[in-house]
Each structure stands twice: as structure tokens, then as C-alpha cells.
Amino acid sequence: MQKIHKELEKLASISACPTPSVTRIVFSEQDAKAREYFIGLCTDIGLKVRTDAVGNTFCRWEGKNKDLPAIGTGSHIDAIPESGMYDGTVGVFGGLEAIRYLMEMGYEPERSIEVLMFTSEEPTRFGIGCLGSRMLCGQLSPEEALKFKDFDGRGLAELLERFDFDGTLDEVKMGNDYYDAFVEFHIEQGPILEKEGLDIGIVTKIAAPSSLRVSLIGQGGHAGAVLMDKRRDAGCAAAEISLAVERIAKESTSPDTVATTGILDIKPRAVNSIPKEAYLEIDLRDTDLEVRDKALEDLKQEIEEICKRRNIESTVELINKDSPAICETKLIDAVEAATKELGLTSKKMISRAYHDSLFMAQVCPTTMIFIPCRDGISHHADEYSTPEQIEKGVKTLALTLKTLSSK
């Protein structure tokens, strides 16, 4: 299994920033080159490739019974600014390597096996993650998607013009009989497997994410001329809200509640000027929907109270409020059986990060296979899984796909 390591290194070089960091924003020049590279590898081994109108890419190894729903695997290749080379990409190129492995074994699947490369799992372009999988499961309509604007004010329709994708956005939604099962292979993005010395994580549940956009308007002024008791400082209100985000997560009744203020901007950004405007984007998630929603409502109430006390105008927009995914028992059992056949150690675990599988679970039985990553680091240039860890994951995925596609 030497090909996948060289291919991941080649993919990492297709980046808008210097190595070892990776930046590959969806619908960018780098994204186009990376797509072309992966599709070429798939056609080289005879896979049938198609894309839908938003760029989700399906690479199919035809089974003996083409009428049966296929078995899917895959992930994404877009990368947030200055991130690492394994997030998502291991699942895409690992799916291809798993098919190669099964081909070398002489295996002929009854059901077709398909590697699915999702469009825009990361929220970098439009502020919302999992664009492709949200549209595949029907949670996001074409009309809603076409309203998105990127950081330069460009809409989805304009960005799609540079790509020769197939069909229309109305045709992206996937039928519930398309896949019989979907298994996503991914780095853990956490420290548990490495800390416990385990080879494989078998995902039983995927956390429910939610996110808010908060816009604040105060009153600017000269930093030396406006006395403290007269100020309507939007920056201070934003800072207090950010601390409230942290506190609410820490005070939650669930250890799985996590909350992050990932974006905090102020205007006019001058050292001698009182901030007149502020903008925040907040991520809040948990595996327990009731707990997550309570924390979300507590946060909205806190924002309102902070702004009232500070005489700040505020607008709070809910970007998304997704449900958790419960993974299918038969798939969990299939992954566990594969690890035993390979003599690998494993652990059933929760995914606190969300993935495209969160939405695929709405159209077919789903689970995920995790491998360790060094120090649990992800979304950073230091993100790393060893070749041995990747190979164990690929073989686990391959045997799981073999089991599922033989029925």
C-alpha cells in the first residue's frame, strides 16, 4: 500500500499556501486541480466516474448485480486555510486504496462499491459546512444553496460556472435506495486512540452541530475623547459574548458540550478608535440534542442581556441546527469483525467533530472508521497519521466493504 502515501503527498502539494500547511478552498483553482488528480487515479483502474451539479464526485466499481443499491465510502478533499494533509483526504484516497486492495485479492463485489468525494465539507467558502452532503440528503434545497455568498460576494451559481459538472441542482438529491450502506474513513481528530494505544475507532454516534452569526452595532469614537461611562463599545460586547460562549459550555450538564467563537472581527480596527461594529461566528455542539439546544437558547438569552446592558444593537442569525447521527448496529458489527480478522485493537466511540456522514445517515445506514492522529491535532500543519496507521485503516475499510458488498 505504498501508492496512497505518495498520492496524499502529491495532493498536499496542490495548495494555495506553502507546505507543510495546506489550503484548498472549494471551487478554487487548487480544488479544480485536486479533483482532476483524483478522478485520473480512479479512471486509471477502471472506475466509472460522474459528478452531480454541485460537484459531488462518484467513482464506481461496478458489482455483479448493478440493480442492487451500492455500498458507499468517501469523504472530502477541501481544506481550511493553513490546515493539514490528512483531514478528509484519507477517507477519499483511502477508499480508492481499499478498492485497489480488494481488486488485488481477486474479489468481485456483488453490490457496486463507490467512492464519493463530497463537495465543501469545510465551511470556509460559505460559512456552512457539508454543502454537498446537505444537498444529497435533501436538507439543503437548491434555492437555499443559491442564496449563499462567499467572502468576495460571489454566489454558488457564479462559482459553478468554471466547472463542467453534470446535471442541474434539482437533481442532486439522492434517493433513499441509492446506497445500502455508507462507511466513512477518517482520522480521529482527537487524542483518544493514540492515548489508549488503539488501532481503530468505530463510531457509534456523531455529534449535533449548531452555529450562530452575531452582528453588533455600537457607537464609534475617538479612543481618547469619549469617557468610559459614555461608551457603546461593540468590541467589548463581543469579548463578553465570547467569554459567555466558553462559560455556557463549561457549565453544561454534558461533558460532550463544546462551544467555540471561531470568528471575531471588529470595525474600524484602529488602535485609537472605539469599535463601532463587531461580528462573531459561534459553533456549539453536543451528542445530546436536548442539552445542545438548551445551551444554544441560554447563549441567545445571554447575548440579548449583554447587548441590552451595554446599549448595543444586535442581530443573531442561526446558520444551522443539525441533529446527531446514530450509527447502524450492523455496520458497527461489520467494522468490528474486520478489525478482529486483521488482529487489530478497536474501541467504539463518539465523533465529536461532524462529518458528511452526519447527513448521509439521513439516507442510508452509516458508520465511520477512525484511525489515530498524533497528539489529536487536526486543522493544523502538524496533523499526522503514520503510514502504518493509515494502512490498518484502509484494510479495515476494505474488509468492511467486502462484507457489505457481498450480500
**pLDDT by residue (tens digit) across 90-138?**
999 999 999 999 999 999 999 999 999 999 999 999 989 999 999 999 9
Compute the residue count for the chain.
407
The pLDDT assigned to 182 comes to 98
Could you read off the pLDDT of 52-76 as tens digits, one per residue?
A: 999 999 999 999 999 999 999 999 9
Average pLDDT over residues 343-372: 97
Average pLDDT over residues 23-44: 98
pLDDT band with cut points at 50, 70 and 90 for residue 153:
very high
Average pLDDT over residues 139-147: 97
Given a cut of 90, is residue 151 above it in pLDDT?
Answer: no
Tracing cell 454537498 back to the chain, one arrives at 132
Structural domains of the chain in order of their starting residue, each with its CATH number:
3-207+324-405 (3.40.630.10), 210-321 (3.30.70.360)
As a whole number, the mean pLDDT across the chain is 97
Given a cut of 80, is residue 290 above it in pLDDT?
Answer: yes
Average pLDDT over residues 186-210: 96
Q: What's the whole-model pTM score?
A: 0.91
- Looking at the chain, the whole-number percentage of residues with pLDDT higher than 70 is 100
The pLDDT assigned to 320 comes to 92
Could you read off the pLDDT of 219-261 as tens digits, one per residue?
A: 999 999 999 999 999 999 999 999 999 999 999 999 989 999 9
Residue 27 phi, psi dihedral angles, 5° rounding:
70, 15
Determine the 3-state secondary structure of 83 from DSSP.
strand
Residues in a beta bridge with 75: 117
Cell of residue 81, nine digits: 486555510
pLDDT band with cut points at 50, 70 and 90 for residue 2:
confident
pLDDT band with cut points at 50, 70 and 90 for residue 204:
very high
The pLDDT assigned to 1 comes to 75
Contacts of 353 (CB under 8 A, 6+ apart): 189, 190, 207, 378
DSSP E strands, 175-257: 179-187, 200-206, 208-217, 221-222
Given a cut of 80, is residue 313 above it in pLDDT?
Answer: yes
The pLDDT assigned to 208 comes to 86
Residue among 149, 151, 131 nearest 141 (CA): 131
Alpha helix positions (H), 15-120? 29-44, 89-104
